[in-house]
Amino acid sequence: MDKIITGNKPLRGEITVPGDKSISHRAVMIGSLARGETAIEGFLEAADPLSTLHCIEALGVETRRSENVCTIFGKGIRGYRAPSRALDAGNSGTTMRLLSGILVGQSFESEITGDAYLRRRPMKRIIEPLKLMGGNISGTKEFTAPLKVLPSKQLRGIEYEMPVPSAQVKSAVLLAGLFAEGETHVVESHQSRDHTERMLGLPVSKKNGKKNISVSGGKELQARNFYIPGDPSSAAFFVVAALITPHSDVVIKNIGVNPTRVGFLHLLQEMGGRISIENQREVGGEPIGDIHVRNSSLISNCILAGEIIPTIIDEIPVLSVAAAFANGSFEVKGARELRYKECDRISAVCRNLSLAGIDVEEHDDGFAFEAKNFLLSSSRKPSIRFQSFNDHRIAMAFGVAGAAMKGTSMVENAECVDISYPSFWTTLQSLTN
């Protein structure tokens, strides 16, 4: 499906966005390992979390879905049964990487695979630490999926210092630690998303500027209920859309504002964005608030590098769109991880910005360009066919660009937004009515 977008209409109103994808994945997995009934309110009914749910069901865990609530009937930490066929993670790297941490602790053989895009993504980063723990896990000779997991004699707790920030690798090790003998410690020099340690209630300490998360093996988990706030990564598209589209004023309700997830908001505020977080409170250990955004004149002159990259990795495509409508320069460095997402997002961003007439320099670990408010100030009526590269975040980012530009544009294969936000195009349209 190609999506035609008529741009430059003010965006106004209050919206909600679907539940947080990262928390939805983790709630299902933790609920499946707990003993008892776990109710997940606000579970994200999108392709990626559903891949996790279907894998859990294939492992013998009963689930039930009703309006806005997903219930998991956990049988305890040793309650899985051997699947009858390979587990299918679809397009979800989170499903594959986190579930691998659980599978290495099982007493049966299993295999986990995914679609053609997921089978190209690197898995060495989880295979190595899980092997250090005694896990019997292997992939292809290129360290890609499918991953085969055989029973291990005994997982052992380790101290693992993260070579690069990655919430998925950290979570895989911590989940494996539930099945390991002794304690497992994960040490982070640069903090990544902390949902797993929050949701498991793990002890966290700091020493010499590094974060240490600990988990003890063999502890039985008790069922609890989870409330899933709105996904800040999904909200980011509407934050940017309201900032760059003239005369816009939008409130996005009930969004997770976990400090490890809202680096993009602080960056946009530094660029001059009129953004406020209102009605802040905490639910289930996660901070939540309403984001109020108004059209703003942005000045970029940003170099994104170092510690900020892990906190904005999913938002870089839409941040590049915000910068394209700003005055000044924009550069991303140290973000090679973007090349291993659902598509090569560095190449995808550069290609689409070039289609819009912006001269972009592509580097191995990022890109750079001068915007000078080109897209917003242009009087021409563009007819651009943006490519989604079958990546939900690329499709939504350049859908936002089209909504702010004069004239019409198109996003090819726009249905890929179903991975995380099936109603994205409908919500975007509702703000112009």
- Name the E strands within 306-393: 329-332, 360-363, 366-370, 383-386
Residue pLDDT, tens place only, 385-413: 999 999 999 999 999 999 999 889 999 99
Which of 45-54, 374-383, 398-407 comes out lowest in average pLDDT? 374-383
pLDDT confidence band for 318 (50 / 70 / 90): very high
For 184-197, the DSSP string reads EEEEESS----HHH
Arithmetic mean of pLDDT, 317-338: 95
Rounded (10°) CA dihedral 22, 24, 25, 29: 140
Arithmetic mean of pLDDT, 316-335: 96
**% of the chain at pLDDT higher than 70:** 97
Under 8 Å between Cβ of 285 and 194: no
Angle at 391 between CA 387 and CA 393, to 5 degrees: 95
393: its two tokens: 């975040």
Which of 87-96, 120-129, 281-290 comes out lowest in average pLDDT? 281-290
**Of residues 115, 314, 364, 391, which has the active-site annotation?**
314
Q: What is the CA radius of gyration of the chain?
A: 21
pLDDT confidence band for 378 (50 / 70 / 90): low
Residue pLDDT, tens place only, 350-372: 999 999 889 999 999 999 999 86
Domains parsed from the chain with CATH numbers: 3-19+229-430 (3.65.10.10), 21-223 (3.65.10.10)
Under 8 Å between Cβ of 96 and 166: no
Residue pLDDT, tens place only, 149-204: 999 989 999 999 999 889 999 999 999 999 999 999 999 998 899 999 999 999 99
**% of the chain at pLDDT higher than 90:** 88
Report the alpha-carbon distance of residue 26 to residue 41 in Å, rounded. Answer: 13
Q: Can 20 be counted among the known catalytic residues?
A: no
Residue 257 has pLDDT above 70, yes or no: yes
Average pLDDT, the chain: 94
Residue 382 has a pLDDT of 55
Residue 205 has pLDDT above 80, yes or no: yes
More confident residue, 121 or 374: 121
